[in-house]
A = this chain, B = another copy of it.
Amino acid sequence: MCLALELSKTISKYILTNILLTMSSISDFNEYRQRMNEVILSGDNKVIKRFFSLDNQTYEDGALSEVTKELLGLVASMVLRCDDCIKYHLGRCYELGVTKEQIYEASSVALIVGGSIFIPHMRRAAEYWEELEKME
C-alpha cells in the first residue's frame, strides 16, 4: 500500500509541478525562453547571433526612454499577435514600473489599430499581468 500511495503522490506532485504550471507560469515561460535561446545560439549561425544582440540593443535608453521603447515593443507584439513576445514585454514593463492603467491604455491602442482579432491575446495578456502582480 505504501508503494501505491507513494506512486500516487508522485504522480499527483508531477501533475501539479510539471503539467499544470507548464504553460502559464512566469518562471517556466522564462526558463523555456532561456533554454531554447541557448540551443539556437549554440547553432552558431552568425546572422542569428548578431540579430539577437541587436534585438537587446534596440530597447536601450536613447532619444526615447527604455519604458517608452518597451511599450512600443509591447504594442508591436500585440498587433502582430505574438503571445510570447507580449509576455516578454509585459515582464519588462512590470520590472520598469509601468502601471496597470498604462498597460490597459497601450492595449486599447492595439485593440483599435488591430481590431477584435486582438481580443483573445488581450485575455492572455491580462491573465499574465495578474500573475506578474501576484508574484510579489
A residues neighboring B (CB under 8 Å) = 1, 3-5, 7-9, 11-12, 14-15, 19-20, 32-33, 36-37, 39-40, 43, 45-48, 50-51, 54-55, 57-59, 62-64, 68-69, 71-73, 75-85, 99-102, 104-120, 122-124, 126-127, 130
Q: Which of B36, B110, B113 contacts A126 (CB 8 A)?
A: B36
Q: Given A1-B4, A3-B5, A123-B32 in contact, is the A105-B63 Cβ separation under 8 Å?
A: yes
List residues of chain B with CB within 8 A of the CB of A99.
Answer: 63
Q: Which of B8, B51, B55, B130 contacts A11 (CB 8 A)?
A: B8
Q: Are A114 and B115 in contact (CB under 8 A)?
A: yes
- With CB as the reference atom, state the residue of chain B lying closest to A75: B72
- With CB as the reference atom, state the residue of chain B lying closest to A33: B123
Which of A19, A50, A113, A117: most chain B Cβ within 10 A?
A113
Q: Are A47 and B54 in contact (CB under 8 A)?
A: yes
Nearest-CB distance from A83 to chain B (Å)? 8
Q: Are B8 and A112 in contact (CB under 8 A)?
A: no
List 4 tightest A-B contacts by C-beta distance, closest first: A115-B115, A36-B123, A84-B120, A63-B101
- With CB as the reference atom, state the residue of chain B lying closest to A8: B7
